[in-house]
A and B are shown apart, each in its own frame.
Chain A
């Protein structure tokens, strides 16, 4: 099942990915382009048919779905089940050096002027944060980049790119933000955490 969903380049390179994950700075992370098979396009299309609710606080402004464990979409149910499968959890666990038990997942849309301010994601049980980007045609001028901090400085900026999976280890140093979107393009993603 792993090879039905995940690009074979990654499935066959667990040791290399593990080394890269640990070595990447400012905190352990991976950016995996073209991560899922073409089936992910159906996932993106189905996600856009979900109900998104505006979320607004001191820390963020965006639209979010319910946890996709509750989705009625067959395509999203299938994708969520795969991501929560023992096989996929073991694969991500080996890549990140973590023992993982389950995943949660919501869909997000960042519209014009939406953002997520700096935070470290630390909460009971969260081991690995992930973001699967599903938006196309973003340029740096559109904003919406995932940005990593060291102190006051943004030291890494990852513009949205379709079918790129970002994984990072949750710790006191994993300070990150989603840069404000500066255009009317919609930044679509699936995101959540692997727990352990």
Chain B
């Protein structure tokens, strides 16, 4: 069993999550990480990433456990054999956002988010996945210590502007997984 994983997520639980994912196209697993791993996500070295007509947030190098083969192996129990295409740690505080700018291409795989904190939808900070017509297909609302998986093939997503009512930042490690 991976040390960074909450012990409740035995292989049969992960496989059940995979069934739900294939049925719904998305799934959110709560209390996903162990305590020390969750703490590690909160201790990254952040730097500003700001292109006004595209995005504004802080970014950091994801922790080693998310970049490990073991991490991919665990997600592969849910999704089938996967490889990682892109990884990023992002922090959205008040005033931060990402947009659906013209050159943003649809994702070509399964999007995942390891969220550190919960954030109420009314404060923004959620990830909205839209189809080619711009219609929202899936919305990932951040929940404390959750793994969210979205079948994002053909979809683009933006992170909703975080407004002044937000009590905390949205912090996550995200990426795209491909078969």
CB within 8 Å of B: which residues of A?
A: 58-59, 61, 113, 115, 117-120, 149, 151-152, 175, 177, 180, 182
Contact = CB atoms under 8 A, between A and B. Distances in A.
A58 B100 contact: yes
Given A58-B158, A59-B99, A115 B163 contact: yes
Interface in B158-176: 158, 160-161, 163-165
Interface in B71-104: 95, 97-100
B99 to A, nearest CB: 5
Interface majority SS on B: helix, strand, loop or mixed?
loop
Given A152-B52, A175-B53, A113 B164 contact: yes
Q: Identify the interface centre among B51, B52, B100, B165: most chain A CB within 10 Å of its CB.
A: B52
A84 B30 CA distance: 57
A175 B100 contact: no
Given A58-B100, A58-B158, A118 B53 contact: yes
Given A58-B97, A117-B99, A152-B51, 7 more contacts: A58-B128, A58-B158, A59-B100, A117-B161, A118-B52, A175-B53, A180-B164
B74 to A, nearest CB: 32
Interface residues of B, number: 16
A97 to B, nearest CB: 26
Interface majority SS on A: helix, strand, loop or mixed?
loop
Contacts of A118: 52-53
B46 interface: no
Nearest to A151: B52
Contacts of A58: 97-100, 128, 158, 160
Given A61-B161, A115-B161, A117-B161, A152 B128 contact: no
